[in-house]
Amino acid sequence: MSTSMFKAKEWKGQPRRALSATEVVASLARLDGWRLTGDGANVAIEKTYTFANYFETIAFVNALAMIAHREDHHPDLSVHYNRCVVRFNTHDVGGISSTDFDCATQADALLAP
């Protein structure tokens, strides 16, 4: 397995911007189970993933950690016995960026049939 797939992205040379409210709503419509939460600089997209047990929850968290590291974009997580709440926003733009939706899509892909 190549270690390059685990290398974190370098964001310094890649400008990001906060999405407009219209862009956020349109992007949310393309995702299943994600919702808008918070306000102002604390606005985020959030989803609760439910599992059968703690082992499955932690397996998901570990897989998501690999994505977060590779994308250099780290969600806030609330980890429980049989669920994990995942919350993405982009602190350096003071809102939600396309990176948040990219990472949300990758999180969903972890559980795709």
Strand order in the sheet with 83-88: 35-37, 44-50, 83-88, 76-79
Chain centre distance of CA 76: 8
pLDDT tens digits for range 64-98: 999 999 998 999 999 999 999 999 999 989 999 99
57 contacts 79 by C-beta, under 8 angstroms: yes
- Identity at 20, one-letter amino acid code: S
Sign of the CA dihedral 50, 96, 113, 33? positive
Tell me which H or E stretch contains 64. Answer: helix 54-71
Say what the pLDDT of residue 1 is: 45
Enter the pTM of the model: 0.88
Say what the pLDDT of residue 2 is: 47
Q: Which tokens in the block code for residue 44?
A: 């985020």
Say what the pLDDT of residue 84 is: 98
pLDDT tens digits for range 41-59: 899 999 999 999 999 999 9
Say what the pLDDT of residue 10 is: 62
